[in-house]
Amino acid sequence: MSMKENLERLAGTMKRWQKLENAAIAQTARIMEETEHPLIRAVMEVIKNDSENHYRIQQLIIDSVEKEYINVFTDDLVKVWDSIEKHIALEKKTIEMAAESLEALEGSKNVVQLYLLDYLRADEEKHDRLLADLDRIKRSMYP
């Protein structure tokens, strides 16, 4: 397959995936309408928000293929890197707080709190990984 064909295939896959994300958004909204339970509602809200974010990222990928390629220039990163480094430090602290919170409940039967704290820790770790990957992009741009 040529590069053009591969990119067209990628865009097609993203469009099909977006349909699944839309279905997930609608389904979580329906579930939220069916219950007043705070835990179930919170989980559905998280999934709904994640699906909305996934849709936006998929659209960015589609646009980068069909409209305009996304270039990353060193100036773009340098301009905001001090702020990003501060945010990296903040994310590291949130991961520490999650670990500390989980440790406080170690051995307990507080399954709801453990479930929610584990989600928070994983999400904070995801943010840290996103920023670390952005740092790798930045470092690969410098000789």
What would the pLDDT profile of 19-77 be if each residue is shown by its tens digit?
999 999 999 999 999 999 999 999 999 999 999 999 999 999 999 999 999 988 888 99
> Long-range contacts: 42-48, Cβ < 8 Å, 24+?
42/116, 46/119, 48/24
User: What b/e string do you get for 59-96 counting C-beta neighbours within 10 Å, with b at 16 or more?
Assistant: eebbebbeeeeeeeeeeebeeeeeeeeeebeebeebbe
pTM of the predicted structure, to 2 decimals: 0.89
Instruction: Using the 3D structure, point to which of 23, 44, 70 is the last residue of a domain.
Output: 70
Q: What is the pLDDT of residue 131?
A: 95
Q: Are residues 51 and 21 in the same domain?
A: yes
What tens digit of pLDDT does each residue of 83-118 get?
A: 999 999 999 999 999 999 999 999 999 999 999 999
Residues 7 and 44 grouped into a single domain = yes
Checking if the pLDDT of 143 tops 60, the result is: no
What's the structural domain count of the chain? 2
Q: What pLDDT is recorded for position 74?
A: 85
